[in-house]
Amino acid sequence: MKFAPPDWTTPGNVFPGEKVADVSWTVKRAELSTGPVIYHVCKPINPKGELQPLLHLHGAGSVRHAHGLEALARDFELICPICPGFDGTPRHGGVNVMKDLGKMWGEFIEKVIGKPVDLIGISFGGWTALWVALESPKWIDQLILENPAGFRFPHLPPLSNEPAIRMREMYVYPDRLPKNDRPLDLQDANRQVMDGYHPGVRFDQAVVDRLPEIGALTLIAHGTKDGRVAAESMQMLKAKIKRSHLIYVYDAGHSLESDQGERFARLVTDFCRRSEAFIVHPGYTQAAE
């Protein structure tokens, strides 16, 4: 038998790690009653029709232009504010703890977007998003929690702050991370700002006690290889938030938006667009419309 041999040099699983074409970032500023907020906006260069806004709250690393966020911006106007104190921005008077952030972001939505919005938060941002849903519920349409921090059960060992371990626990594919120009001392300062909002809190019992109050349809997305946030914490959130879905994103660590950017964007876009019908195969719902 004679066959043409396969091309062994072709990678079997190519990741589109490059930047998403046809989207652009701009930086803007908003004035809140407590102080200014700098925010990044990502949207298509040539949008087709009116874009729905999508608010994204960052994690410990501040705003990063990850592949998954740019992929989301194909379909949404993605608004990514910098939490006060991060990246050298001023802290706001009276905004000291997570609960205060929950109120402050509500005011941000009112002033910048002007209508209820779908809210995504990653890690620290996911924890914050829960406080927004509790303190400013009228401004939240749907909630997306991406590996939310803040719910580490006491029986689990404390997380390591050693950079190499942290890196390994956070990212399956560190080569897919977006470029980070922040100097190391600024990165450390960002982590200190973050810790300052929740001093000594590993497990936020105050949020857990109020989870049944959350009425927003909620997507909890967890990476199957997340070394920072345990699956049992996500299962607890799923059990206590009435209208929630827990989705595991395969082969992703703590940052779904960089480890599996396309997969993450596909999931979130579908959830935002089709709401609770997103559990039904899209072929069916599209045919019915």
Tell me which residues touch another protein (CB under 8 A): 1, 3-6, 8, 12-13, 221, 224, 235, 238-239, 245-251, 260, 263-264, 266-267, 278-280
Q: Which is nearer to another protein, 14 or 184 (CB)?
A: 14
Q: Which is nearer to another protein, 13 or 286 (CB)?
A: 13
Q: Which is nearer to another protein, 43 or 176 (CB)?
A: 176
Cβ proximity of 11 and 33 under 8 Å: no
Q: Which is nearer to another protein, 2 or 48 (CB)?
A: 2
**Minimum distance from CB of 234 to another protein (Å)?**
9
**Minimum distance from CB of 132 to another protein (Å)?**
23
**Minimum distance from CB of 167 to another protein (Å)?**
20
**Minimum distance from CB of 146 to another protein (Å)?**
12
Packed helices 98-108 and 124-135: angle between N→C axes, nearest 10 degrees: 70
**Minimum distance from CB of 57 to another protein (Å)?**
21
Q: What angle do CA 218, 230, 58 make, to 5 degrees?
A: 55
Q: Which is nearer to another protein, 157 or 199 (CB)?
A: 157
